[in-house]
């Protein structure tokens, strides 16, 4: 079968499209014929060989998220059958062989039903992005209906799902994006208001959208740039959840004291097993009801995986980046 194989750590040039041995499902495992795979920033970090959360044994096939059809099942598998449409969230399953391939073998608990109205591309956009969005909103921020959520960088794969989830729960949503196409996607996802990324000069404009109070919840994707601005924006007793960060920042802790706000963070790899299961069930419920409908940005072929990594690293494009697998 065809797959992306990594034999040495480094950059996108080390993603090699090649023939590998067919995979076979063992006891408690399933084999899925994949039709799409999601590309996440964590895949890029893992490729460097220095990512604290994941250093795989070489050679390996990247990819945690995907969607396809169950081709075969191993002994003692009862939750799915051959021919079922499924999406894969293999983050917690180290035995997974990677979704950047025509087939994957993974633990049966890593596959979940994909409703007929959801495409394989959308199914591949679940996994890490959807679970991160759910955890940030409901397990870390403890979002309540009627609150205002401000998403600082809402046009990415996670941000757009945060918008949909928050709206489905009865929140008012303000999202930011830097480009017209990104703003269009954020609006399509259901945001009440879409604006440029907030700077020191535009804080008052955002406060005006919340009657001067500030948002109750801020979901932050670039904390090293925006955290101090967030502290000035957040409502008293509000919650800032850091989902993304690319460096250090100096802040004045007195800003947090003045608001008595909470600065929280989430990294999906840290999620306790019981809370991870809650995330899965929450995402599945929203998917089945139609409240969650992932928005796809760029699609590339499996052969173009290295191009996808380069685009993601450079911040090119909006929405979810997905690899189509023939």
For position 97, what pLDDT does the model report? 81
Contact 88, 66 (CB under 8 A): yes
Q: What are the tokens at 203?
A: 């804080």
For position 267, what pLDDT does the model report? 93
For position 94, what pLDDT does the model report? 57
What number is the average pLDDT over the span 113-123? Answer: 97
Q: Mean of the per-residue pLDDT values for the chain? A: 94
* Angstrom distance (rounded) from CA 157 to CA 155: 7
Question: Hey, what long-range contacts does 110-114 have (CB within 8 A, 24 or more apart)?
Answer: 111/30, 111/32, 111/70, 111/79, 111/80, 111/86, 111/87, 112/86, 112/87, 112/88, 112/280, 112/284, 113/80, 113/84, 113/85, 113/86, 113/284, 114/67, 114/85, 114/86, 114/87
User: What is the bridge-based pairing of β-strands 239-242 and 262-265?
Assistant: parallel
Share of the chain above pLDDT 90, in %: 90
| pLDDT at residue 243 is higher than 90 | yes
For position 318, what pLDDT does the model report? 85
The answer to whether the predicted template modeling score (pTM) of the entire model surpasses 0.75 is yes
- Range in 52-66, 203-217, 218-232 the model is least confident about: 52-66
Structure confidence at residue 228 as a pLDDT band (50, 70, 90): very high
Q: Could you report the per-residue pLDDT of 167-217, keeping only the tens digit for each?
A: 999 999 999 999 999 999 999 999 999 999 998 889 999 999 999 999 999
Tell which residue, 292, 304, 317, has the closest CA to residue 122. Answer: 292
What number is the average pLDDT over the span 291-305? Answer: 96
What number is the average pLDDT over the span 270-288? Answer: 95
| pLDDT at residue 92 is higher than 70 | no
Q: Could you report the per-residue pLDDT of 120-153, keeping only the tens digit for each?
A: 999 999 999 999 999 999 999 999 999 999 999 9
| pLDDT at residue 326 is higher than 60 | yes
Structure confidence at residue 91 as a pLDDT band (50, 70, 90): confident
What number is the average pLDDT over the span 219-237? Answer: 97
| pLDDT at residue 315 is higher than 90 | no
Q: Phi/psi of residue 37, each to 5°?
A: -140, 140
Q: Could you report the per-residue pLDDT of 26-56, keeping only the tens digit for each?
A: 999 999 999 999 999 999 999 999 887 878 8
Residue ranges of domains in the chain, CATH in brackets: 2-126+294-324 (3.90.180.10), 129-269 (3.40.50.720)
* Angstrom distance (rounded) from CA 294 to CA 189: 9
Tell which residue, 229, 223, 240, 190, has the closest CA to residue 206. Answer: 229
């Amino acid at each position: 079968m065809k797959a992306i194989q990594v034999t040495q750590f480094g950059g996108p040039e080390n993603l090699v499209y090649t023939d590998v041995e067919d995979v076979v499902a063992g006891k408690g495992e399933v084999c899925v014929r994949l039709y799409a795979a999601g590309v996440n920033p964590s895949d890029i970090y893992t490729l460097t060989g220095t990512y604290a959360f994941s250093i795989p044994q070489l050679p390996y096939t990247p990819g945690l998220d995907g969607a396809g059809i169950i081709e075969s099942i191993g002994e003692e598998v009862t939750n799915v059958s051959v021919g079922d449409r499924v999406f894969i969230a293999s983050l917690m399953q180290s035995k997974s062989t990677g979704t950047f391939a025509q087939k994957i073998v993974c633990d049966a608990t890593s596959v979940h039903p994909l409703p007929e109205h959801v495409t394989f591309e959308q199914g591949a956009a679940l996994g890490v992005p959807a679970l991160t969005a759910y955890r940030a909103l409901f397990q870390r921020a403890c979002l309540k209906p009627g609150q205002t959520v401000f998403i600082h960088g809402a046009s990415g794969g996670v941000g757009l799902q945060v918008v949909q989830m928050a709206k489905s729960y009865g929140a008012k949503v303000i999202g930011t994006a830097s480009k017209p196409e990104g703003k269009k996607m954020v609006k399509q996802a259901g945001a009440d208001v879409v604006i440029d990324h907030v700077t020191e000069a535009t804080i008052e404009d955002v406060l005006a959208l919340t009657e001067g109070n500030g948002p109750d919840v801020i979901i932050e994707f670039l904390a090293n740039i925006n955290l101090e601005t967030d502290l000035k924006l957040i409502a008293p007793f509000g919650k800032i959840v850091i989902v993304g960060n690319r460096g250090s920042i100096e802040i004045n802790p007195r800003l947090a004291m003045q608001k008595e706000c909470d600065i929280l963070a989430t990294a999906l790899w840290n999620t306790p097993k019981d809370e991870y299961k809650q995330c899965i069930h929450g995402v599945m419920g929203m998917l089945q009801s139609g409240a969650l409908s992932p928005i796809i940005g760029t699609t590339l072929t499996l052969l173009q995986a290295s191009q996808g990594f380069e685009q993601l690293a450079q911040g090119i494009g909006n929405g979810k980046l997905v690899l189509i697998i023939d």
